[in-house]
Structure 1
Amino acid sequence: MTTNSLIGTAAPLAPVTDAHALTGKRKIAFASFVDENYLPGFLVLLRSLALTNPDVCEDFVVLYDDLRPGSIAQIRALHPRIVLQRVDADRYDSYKKGDQDNYLVRKAYFILDVFRIRAYDTIITLDTDMVVLGGLGELLRLREGLAAVPQFFYGQHKLNSGLLVIQREYLSDSFCARLDKCGRSGDYELDKHDQGILNAVLDGDFVRLDARYNFVKRRLSGDLPVPDDTAILHFTGRHKPWQGGEAGYSRAEERWREFELTDAEFQAAYMEQQGSLHHDLIVHYGTPHVARTGDVEAARKVAAAHISSGDYQDAVDVLSGVRIPLDEAWPHEVLGHALMSVSRYDEAKTQLLLASAAPNRAATAYARLAQMAWVHGDNTEALRHATAGLAVDPTHRSSRLWAQRASAVPPQELGAPEDQLAHVAFYMDRQGNAGDKLLPESVRSAFGPDTTSRRWHSVHAHRLFDEGALQRVNRRRGLVIGGGGLFIPDTMPNGNSAWQWNVPDELLKRIGVPIAVFAVGFNAFDGQSYRANRFRDSLRLLVEQSSFFGLRNHGSIEKVRAMVPAHLHDKIRFQPCPTTVTRQLVPGWQDPAERDDTILINAAYDRAGLRFGHDYGYFLAQMAKAVRDLGALAEVQCVAHSLDDEKIVFDLRREHGISLPVIPMYDFGNKEILDLYARTKLVIGMRGHAGMIPFGCGTPIISLISHPKMAYFLRDIERPEWGVSVHDRHLADRLVERSKELLADHDGTVADVHGRQQELWKVTEANAADLRVLLGG
């Protein structure tokens, strides 16, 4: 094997890189200081936050000094992501105070410990005498400065510290040093405690928020009603609602008491809400509610939440634990979905047939029945169910997809089995993702110029690998597995492997020909994980059974090595995605004599919550600015790898009045895809293959990073500066600046791409030599 620095076949790697550090996705938390005296207020605060912002679930840091175990249990029951952090109480004893011996005064400073937290990009502090009455989306989207509401009595220069929105630059040792210096000097309003220190240090330098985000009780003196637009009501002063309240504020206190609920009342109230609910909150509140009540509709919501996060067995368990009436179609459909996702296909079929009896769920139920039949290789049955789904709803997209798959004519195999390699891949549909459509052919081209059925026997990764499939594979010269980021839990879930290839362990063990895992990627998103041992066990067995195990980037190598025993680590090697060396693989490839004066932009919208978090509006505004400025360099066009990728064009037009031409690459053949990417001057892409394919064609790229794999690739080619996080504070400016740099000396940039590609080609050639020995030919 060649010892090129990019190969890393058996060399030790750095510790597994944190996905957040690669994607730049903002980590947001709420925080409060809580003690036993203020615990009743904090419990109401947590309930109000969940009931008024049911789609929000960020970490909640609880700063504390003396909470009892029972109190901590009460807090944890009300939020699934509590982070306990004991305050450094002694630090504040050195601060000068108005009443040094008053324990309440001493504790008033403890919230300042929030500035010593380093794990988050944004922290929103809430006093425990607050109640949330409205949406906090605007606060979650803030990205600059330290934001607060100005004090009611003192004008705009001073802030009320009951609510702070703190960005990372203030979560620093240098800012903490300023706080400590001020506190120890006493150069602040001593009777204002933490608020006095912050106002002295900031001296009016803070972002001003509308008063509705910290609406102090004193504004309602005389028993005035709480304004309808109040987002956070703050019960400042000595008298707290849980202590009996204060005369003249009964209407305000009524709003607080709306959330003074038992756990059972609170859980029921959350589960009864309509609209968008956060899956973590549904599971946290719904699970005990279902166990207590047997509520079928709540069980359906909990199961659906489990499915959305890839916890398919948990979804089965929760719905199997309640009695579903025969005529309740939706729970039957969700249970059927969960059962098929853990490969309990016969039980799933029963549930889905029950669901198909209801007109409002029938199309989806029939589509899932068609999918199961297709997975089992029964195209006739799949077409029958898909047709039934279209009869109920002619516009049903999933039913149409399965009808197309089931009615597709299988390609005729031209070669003799003993001359062929079997190839497990995700074979994309006609209007499917363009990158995935190109991948199987690209993988095959790494083994020789003939990518047809004369040399290759196709095995669709998503179809059940059964006895017949095993026999067909064992008649071939070998088995190649590759053609997509196959290590992902939710594209086509199954209980046999828990990754995309639906292969039971016992059949994998009986494959008698050499197995080559080729350029597979570990494609879990930032915030997405494998939660069951099934994947680890299947992965370990695959590594053991494989004669060649090549992953497409070193980030994937890190992840997989971390999940298998140490004695298998040396088997896992680097094999770049073949799309990145297209110029070397395509027979007779010629670089274009001239390029179109275009910049192609691609955005991806699958799993948008994992990609953008709370920052989609910001991303869109930054892209609008970038598109305007990039237009001075070349014509900007949108290239859509899938239908959903066109959303950026609609949103830019609607929100910012910008129109872009759309190139429907999902309708292109493989040669058209390569031709387009080879002719353009620059590609700015969010999908992995909106970077790797043009790079393989010799075209300069900038990656919009919303997934770790983008950063993995750029790290491997030693060009991390060719990537910009979709969360970057200066996204537009960075995109335009880097585009100008790459286009200013375009010939030099293209030469750099060629040079980087040559390093990947050396790795591929070295691996190819091993594979020829292994597989022959």
Structure 2
Amino acid sequence: MTTTTLSATQAPVTDAAALTGKRRIAFASYVDENYLPGFLVLLRSLALSNPAVCEDFVVLYDDLRPGSIARIRALHPRIVLKRVNDTHYDAYKKGDQDNYLVRKAYFILDVFRLREYDTVITLDTDMVVLGDLGELLRLREGLAAVPQFFYGQHKLNSGLLVIQREYLSEEFCARLDATGRSGDYELDKHDQGILNAVLDGDFVRLDPRYNFVKRRLSGDLPVPEDTAILHFTGRHKPWQGGESGYSLAEEKWREYDLSDADFHAEYLARAGGLHHDLIVHYGTPHVARTGDVETARKVAAAHIASGDYQDAVDILESVRIPLDEAWPHEVLGHALMSVSRTAEARAQLLLATAAPNRAATAYARLAQMSWVQGDNAAALTYATAGMSVDITHRSSRLWAQRAASVPAQELGAPEDQLAHVAFYMDRQGNAGDKLLPESVRSAFGPDTGSRRWHPVHAHRLFDEAALERVNARRGLVIGGGGLFIPDTMPNGNSAWQWNVPDELLRRIDVPIAVYAVGFNAFDGQSYRASRFRDSLRLLVEKSAFFGLRNHGSIEKVRAMVPAHLHDKIRFQPCPTTVTRRLVPDWQDPARREDTILINAAYDRAGLRFGHDYGYFLAQMAQAVRELGELAEVRCVAHSLDDEKLVFDLRREHGVSMPVIPMYDFENDEIRDLYARTKLVIGMRGHAGMIPFGCGTPIISLISHPKMAYFLRDIERPEWGVSVHDRHLAARLVERSRDLLRDHAATVADVHGRQQELWKITEANAADLRVLLGG
């Protein structure tokens, strides 16, 4: 296998979507002033019939007025306007060159010029959505459409198209143009005629319910119950007065011909499964108009789910919450504690404890807030109260355990110690996070205990007492996780995981080393608050050493700080990736077990899988069956939630495999297990980095950019497969066979890649010894 030296400066990192392979899906329509009424009904029907779906909606247009655009934007939060290249189609031969409607019929073909998406679903503006479109969102192959009603299976109706990326290409556009300019198609069928001529029957056939043409209902027949999309083909449109003989169909259309106020109210009244972007988009004006407390709660909860904590506070503070409405008080308390308005949060959460159905959650939040503030006694009192309401309440039990834990006795003198800010994980917490603090400490020497180290939990408020303790040490190390993430333990002081106010950060007078921290925002997740940028800039300014664990994180952080600070930000691999070099007396295993370990992650599942979880599960079922021919396949669970893979595979596909509860392991057990297996296929960052550091071959299931960042840094991107890959199972099995075929050579390659990371770690260690001593 080839070996090359890792460069300290890599090429610019590709955007997150390209790294994760997450599919970008959009709807699209051509809209003009004449068809605007139909399009507004289409948008409302899409939201009401598919309330959990919110993808980009591309509006192709040429003559829309500003007021019309405003009406469109009011109905959808992700409108993307694209002006059509109308003159492009003047060269096409047409049945009636002078008819403006004929001219505009070709403009929808501009959809094939979109390059930002993997799947585009086109909808004619004379359609109304009546049912679930999930099947269309999950399509991954070909160009799909419903065959024409009158012309048999060979020709499609272009009112609805599901177009995959291979058709969104210059090559396919050239074929459309050649056919249009030659006139070698049914001229009276316009865009549809060109598509049928080019495809010549080569399209994926959909059930007619996805483009159920009005003509099927002639004689006032009722609309079939399973109709997903009703299409008002023909000259007479419902907003123009309709057509005799189709009154039942037009009644369906008129159900969605609502005022914005009525539409907002109807959407928000839907029970469960609403998309948070749509809740915010429709709920915000509804609250402003009505002052409705329940809607304000839903909007605030949606803001919290996307990390917009101040927005959640603002909308709930804009309404009057009755004293006996516990749930809104609890959500407001949650939002207030997330922006560090502690006293106000406590008042709101105490009000919420009056209702039995909200009390346990409210008490758990009160316990969390007290623990963050350093008051263990109050935290234990609140957590105990939560368990008295609901003995099974997991969060209350967690905070009771934290509050009751006794800190380890510190054996060393302060002047001989380093302070260490990290996320110190609880037992049964994420195994990777549990291992990290010790791994970071091991990079500074073999003594990782309290003689040399003073722990500072990142999530507890860094107050005057904590400042005094840190300044009594000889230095401060910050590291032990992807600390740059907005929502694991939100606070208003820094807006990242270390809860440190700026004024106290400024007063730290010992050297600060930021060590192997990761920028862990998911694809589709961002830091919207300037608070994070300001805190980050100050941290970079104050640090004597600022090392990030991958070049992707370096690029993200550099983009958030002034240019004069860029050179301070350097590459420091995660110490778990060089475990063999750091653990005293490390011995590679004399023999390995004939096993393949698989890990899947389920936190923020919507950001990881999008619409593809069912596909992922089916592919994993196939992969597990085939991998079982190579070795015994086991599931390794870094956290309790990771066991969901096994439950779902057994329930949905009848595939079983044993579970290893790594969340219960001690650090040596974690390293030992990963060192003794032959191959690890993991979705968590440290389900790749830890086994790699133990010398074990890995394949990463990429659902987060950081997985791809790491593989790029070690120059083995082929060791990663996107969870969205069209041939996920086949690629996993093929790459597993490749890595296992000559296992000794593969392990040697892992060691070689690791050696390059170790060189960087050693060079940084020399600088750190000068900065921190020791």
Find the counterpart in structure 2 of residue 417 from structure 1.
414
Per the TM alignment, residue 17 of structure 1 is displaced from its structure 2 partner at its CA by 2.6
TM-score computed with the length of structure 1 as normaliser: 0.99
Per the TM alignment, residue 6 of structure 1 is displaced from its structure 2 partner at its CA by 3.6
RMSD of aligned alpha carbons: 0.8
2:594 to 588, 592, 597: 597
1:41 to 38, 42, 50: 38
Map of 1:480-629 to 2, 5 A cutoff?
480-629=477-626
Distance in 2, Cα, partners of 1:435 & 1:405: 19
Is the CA contact 1:7–1:573 (under 8 Å) kept in the aligned structure 2? no
Per the TM alignment, residue 740 of structure 1 is displaced from its structure 2 partner at its CA by 0.4
Find the counterpart in structure 2 of residue 139 from structure 1.
136
The DSSP-based 3-state class of the residue aligned with 1:503 is coil
Find the counterpart in structure 1 of residue 723 from structure 2.
726
What one-letter code is carried by the residue in structure 2 that aligns with 1:398? S
* CA displacement 1:108-130 (0-9 Å, x = unmatched): 01101100100000000000000
Runs of 4+ in 1 over 4 A off after TM superposition: 13-16
1:246 to 235, 243, 248: 243
Distance in 2, Cα, partners of 1:219 & 1:414: 83
* CA displacement 1:281-337 (0-9 Å, x = unmatched): 011110010001000000000000000000000000000000000000000000000
What one-letter code is carried by the residue in structure 1 that aligns with 2:585? G
Distance in 2, Cα, partners of 1:145 & 1:403: 54
The DSSP-based 3-state class of the residue aligned with 1:766 is helix
Per the TM alignment, residue 386 of structure 1 is displaced from its structure 2 partner at its CA by 0.6
Find the counterpart in structure 2 of residue 643 from structure 1.
640
Correspondence 1:371 to 2:383: no
Is the CA contact 2:432–2:686 (under 8 Å) kept in the aligned structure 1? yes
Is the CA contact 2:6–2:715 (under 8 Å) kept in the aligned structure 1? no
Find the counterpart in structure 2 of residue 228 from structure 1.
225
* CA displacement 1:71-94 (0-9 Å, x = unmatched): 000000000000000111111111
Per the TM alignment, residue 16 of structure 1 is displaced from its structure 2 partner at its CA by 5.0
Distance in 2, Cα, partners of 1:7 & 1:562: 20
Per the TM alignment, residue 714 of structure 1 is displaced from its structure 2 partner at its CA by 0.3
Distance in 1, Cα, partners of 2:679 & 2:688: 10
Per the TM alignment, residue 15 of structure 1 is displaced from its structure 2 partner at its CA by 4.2
Distance in 2, Cα, partners of 1:221 & 1:764: 75
Map of 1:168-317 to 2, 5 A cutoff?
168-317=165-314
Find the counterpart in structure 2 of residue 119 from structure 1.
116
Distance in 2, Cα, partners of 1:601 & 1:491: 25
Correspondence 1:88 to 2:85: yes
Distance in 2, Cα, partners of 1:443 & 1:37: 64
Distance in 1, Cα, partners of 2:610 & 2:194: 33
Find the counterpart in structure 1 of residue 771 from structure 2.
774
What one-letter code is carried by the residue in structure 2 that aligns with 1:662? V
Distance in 1, Cα, partners of 2:617 & 2:129: 29
Per the TM alignment, residue 657 of structure 1 is displaced from its structure 2 partner at its CA by 0.4
Is the CA contact 1:7–1:574 (under 8 Å) kept in the aligned structure 2? no
Distance in 1, Cα, partners of 2:594 & 2:652: 27
What one-letter code is carried by the residue in structure 2 that aligns with 1:190? L
Segment of structure 1 superposing worse, 548-557 or 405-414: 405-414
Is the CA contact 1:641–1:666 (under 8 Å) kept in the aligned structure 2? yes
* CA displacement 1:157-189 (0-9 Å, x = unmatched): 111100000000000011111111111111111
* CA displacement 1:698-733 (0-9 Å, x = unmatched): 000000000000000000000000000000001011
1:345 to 342, 345, 367: 342
1:706 to 703, 706, 711: 703
What one-letter code is carried by the residue in structure 2 that aligns with 1:494? N
The DSSP-based 3-state class of the residue aligned with 2:633 is strand
Per the TM alignment, residue 755 of structure 1 is displaced from its structure 2 partner at its CA by 0.3
Find the counterpart in structure 2 of residue 155 from structure 1.
152
1:653 to 650, 654, 658: 650
The DSSP-based 3-state class of the residue aligned with 2:459 is coil
Find the counterpart in structure 2 of residue 29 from structure 1.
26
Find the counterpart in structure 2 of residue 54 from structure 1.
51
The DSSP-based 3-state class of the residue aligned with 2:620 is helix
Per the TM alignment, residue 409 of structure 1 is displaced from its structure 2 partner at its CA by 1.4
The DSSP-based 3-state class of the residue aligned with 2:547 is strand
The DSSP-based 3-state class of the residue aligned with 1:60 is strand
What one-letter code is carried by the residue in structure 2 that aligns with 1:348? A
1:404 to 401, 404, 409: 401
Distance in 1, Cα, partners of 2:678 & 2:459: 36
Distance in 2, Cα, partners of 1:751 & 1:543: 37
Distance in 1, Cα, partners of 2:103 & 2:388: 70
The DSSP-based 3-state class of the residue aligned with 1:592 is coil
Distance in 2, Cα, partners of 1:188 & 1:7: 56
Is the CA contact 1:653–1:659 (under 8 Å) kept in the aligned structure 2? yes
Distance in 2, Cα, partners of 1:283 & 1:664: 39
Distance in 2, Cα, partners of 1:408 & 1:479: 24
Per the TM alignment, residue 7 of structure 1 is displaced from its structure 2 partner at its CA by 5.7
Find the counterpart in structure 2 of residue 360 from structure 1.
357
Is the CA contact 1:424–1:480 (under 8 Å) kept in the aligned structure 2? yes
* CA displacement 1:199-236 (0-9 Å, x = unmatched): 11111111111111101001111111111111100000
The DSSP-based 3-state class of the residue aligned with 1:618 is helix
What one-letter code is carried by the residue in structure 1 that aligns with 2:765? A
The DSSP-based 3-state class of the residue aligned with 2:598 is strand
Aligned residues: 771
Find the counterpart in structure 2 of residue 462 from structure 1.
459
Distance in 1, Cα, partners of 2:11 & 2:526: 20
Distance in 2, Cα, partners of 1:318 & 1:413: 46
Distance in 2, Cα, partners of 1:25 & 1:200: 32
Find the counterpart in structure 2 of residue 325 from structure 1.
322
* CA displacement 1:598-644 (0-9 Å, x = unmatched): 00000000000000000000000111111111011000000000000
Per the TM alignment, residue 484 of structure 1 is displaced from its structure 2 partner at its CA by 0.2
Is the CA contact 1:16–1:559 (under 8 Å) kept in the aligned structure 2? no
* CA displacement 1:353-393 (0-9 Å, x = unmatched): 00000000000000000000000111111111111111111
Per the TM alignment, residue 766 of structure 1 is displaced from its structure 2 partner at its CA by 0.5
* CA displacement 1:721-751 (0-9 Å, x = unmatched): 0000000001011000000000001000000
Per the TM alignment, residue 5 of structure 1 is displaced from its structure 2 partner at its CA by 5.6
The DSSP-based 3-state class of the residue aligned with 2:44 is helix
Correspondence 1:103 to 2:100: yes
Find the counterpart in structure 1 of residue 446 from structure 2.
449
Distance in 2, Cα, partners of 1:112 & 1:82: 19
1:736 to 717, 733, 736: 733
Correspondence 1:439 to 2:436: yes
Is the CA contact 2:650–2:656 (under 8 Å) kept in the aligned structure 1? yes
Segment of structure 1 superposing worse, 319-328 or 389-398: 389-398
TM-score computed with the length of structure 2 as normaliser: 0.99
